[in-house]
Structure 1
Amino acid sequence: MAKYQRRGAERAILRALKNLGGSASRDALRDSIVEDPDSGFTYEDVFNKIMSKNGHKYNPFEFDFNFGINNLYATGYVEQPERMKDVVLTEKGRLRSSEKFPTAKEKKIVDKYWTDHVKLNREKRKAKAKEVTEPTEEEDDETSDTDAWKSELIKQLNSFTPRKFESFSRLLISKMGVKIDAKLGKIQSHDHGIDGFGYFESDEFRTTRVAIQSKKFANNAVSEPEIDKFKGVMDGFNAEYGIFITTSYFTDAAKQKAVKGSKSVTLIDGRRIAELVAKFQLHVTPVETFTLDDYYFQKD
């Protein structure tokens, strides 16, 4: 695996925001960046973690990603970012080409923004002066708290037995509106080549047959042959579409294969599992916290 090279993510973020209609969550932006072949970032770049000198794992892309959003705010491309809220394009962001960022003038604005930012943090934290012009990796905490549970979730799912993971997959998919078949919905993968079967009723009261496949992959991506094999099994059950769920991710070829032909397959990777677990609060407990405002840092 090639080592991640730190680089600006502003253009990739702008492209993603425009592809998503001008407003999106940080999770949606990351997913869009991965799916965009011209973003300059791969799945491994965006989501893989590395070991720091201090012995803890971190995701170096997050620093480029969060710096990028703040740089876009400083130069007027996005509205002021807020924790846990969507990133939103401004009129300038909608009209300007992402390829033109940054101009020489914008570079100066960015440099001044981070210089002022560091000075403000020094005053608030009453810290000793540090000769830096932008936050260090240790200062970037935008996602450390909010995303830690997601990494822990995937770690625990990968520790599940195949039987328990298949059961979890059926539970999650049932929350998505698929009614699991009393008989076929609980078969094991070694029996028939699928991990579940159910029915989905649309708003028009049309019922469709759904085949379910689940795979734990700690380090490898799900490739095209896996999707092709699943589609073949779907035919044996006369399923009209399928859902393939994995703790890992899907290759580009697998994504293309999933939507080819008359029967499509919905792909749910590790990141999307976490989003769905949060959405349905599936065996998780939401925790609220507080941050101190300027009052606690101001002098008398």
Structure 2
Amino acid sequence: MAYVRRGAQKAIVRALQSVGGTATRDDLKAIIAEDDDSGFSHDDVYGTVISKNGNPYIPFNLDFNFGIRDLAAIGYIEKPVRGAAIVLTEQGRADPLTNFPNKQQLKTMGDYWSRTTAARRAKNAKKAKFQADGTTVVEANDDDNEDPEDSWKAELLVRIKQFSPAKFEQFARLLIHQMGVRIDAKMGKVISGDHGIDGFGYFQSDEFRTSRVAIQAKRYGDGPVGEPEIDKFKGVMDSFNAEYGIFITTSHFTDGAKRKAVQGAKSVTLIDGQGIVQLVEKYQLHISPVQTFELDDYYTEKN
């Protein structure tokens, strides 16, 4: 089912309230995706489509980013800072959200966007004067409105889903190695496909305790990984005497799979598509950081 654009303000405040008032953007999206009462499903939050320009983007990110700015306009969150956590104000913490957003809040949001749109049009008009004659301002597509921090992540996951099964298994082992697991030179590569796991290695904790780790990598499309897959993986873990497992997928996990992962004496760490993206960013795995700057309101001339 195609994503339907709608306001995310209430879902964002609910998510922030549930974790004490402070969270990163990625964490907020994960909370919203898992909250049955948020009004957004997992597919809503992370579903990728192709824009008119041929670029992958996530429609929810547009509503999420607009929602963040709406909440700042009505004083429910502190002014957002690129790369920093989103923080609720006292007003945002205290609201039970029974009548949110109300008419006055909607008006304040509307006034904010009216001012923002007028300023943007003025900026484009000034920009046009410095362009060659005959040029026009191109109408923005959906992906033009998306935060660059979000757009590269959407493209990354699309590309990873296009990996061959062999390359995805290799990528998973590379990712696990970056996390501190030493891949077994023999078993970590040979057992793939024959016994139902895609890697095996060892992790040494800060207390110098070494644990045996089994790795499963599944390059899924849109379907989630369910409880049976986790149950089967746990059985294979026992045959290799692994003390815990790591299950990596480009998709996501059902609630049943999450419950099964932590049941019993041996647990399984679950890493879904969004978790993969966050780890690639954390370890800067085959990506290059690009620094840019955004002008604040000081440089906007007031009439």
TM range (shorter): 0.7 to 0.9
Deviation at 1:286, TM superposition (A): 1.0
When residues 143 and 26 of structure 1 are mapped into structure 2, their CA distance, relative to the original with a 3 A threshold, is farther
**Which residue does 1:145 correspond to in 2?**
148
**Which residue does 1:226 correspond to in 2?**
229
**Which residue does 1:47 correspond to in 2?**
46
Secondary structure of the residue aligned to 1:113 is helix
When residues 49 and 210 of structure 1 are mapped into structure 2, their CA distance, relative to the original with a 3 A threshold, is same
Unaligned stretches of 5+ residues in structure 1? 129-135
Secondary structure of the residue aligned to 1:28 is helix
Q: Distance in 1 between matches of 2:77 and 2:294?
A: 23
Give the structure-1-normalised TM-score.
0.87
When residues 65 and 224 of structure 1 are mapped into structure 2, their CA distance, relative to the original with a 3 A threshold, is same
Q: Would you say the 8 A contact 2:50–2:57 is kept in 1?
A: yes
Q: Would you say the 8 A contact 1:180–1:197 is kept in 2?
A: yes
The residue type paired with residue 92 of structure 1 is Q
Moved more, 178-187 or 88-97: 178-187
Q: Distance in 1 between matches of 2:108 and 2:289?
A: 38
**Which residue does 1:262 correspond to in 2?**
265
**Which residue does 1:4 correspond to in 2?**
3
Corresponding residue to 2:197 among 194, 197, 203: 194
Secondary structure of the residue aligned to 2:193 is helix
Q: Distance in 2 between matches of 1:83 and 1:184?
A: 43
The residue type paired with residue 251 of structure 1 is T
Secondary structure of the residue aligned to 1:191 is coil
**Which residue does 1:133 correspond to in 2?**
none
Q: Distance in 2 between matches of 1:286 and 1:78?
A: 28
Aligned residue pairs, count: 292
Q: Would you say the 8 A contact 1:63–1:137 is kept in 2?
A: no
Q: Distance in 1 between matches of 2:283 and 2:40?
A: 30
Q: Percent identity?
A: 57
RMSD, aligned α-carbons: 2.7
Q: Distance in 1 between matches of 2:112 and 2:59?
A: 21
Summarize deviations over 1:222-279 as a string: whole Å, max 9, x none: 1221111111111111212111001122222222221222222111111111110111
Unaligned stretches of 5+ residues in structure 2? 128-138
Summarize deviations over 1:108-155 as a string: whole Å, max 9, x none: 222222222222222222279xxxxxxx97477564422332233223
Corresponding residue to 1:206 among 206, 209, 221: 209
The residue type paired with residue 265 of structure 2 is S
Q: Would you say the 8 A contact 1:222–1:250 is kept in 2?
A: yes
**Which residue does 2:110 correspond to in 1?**
111
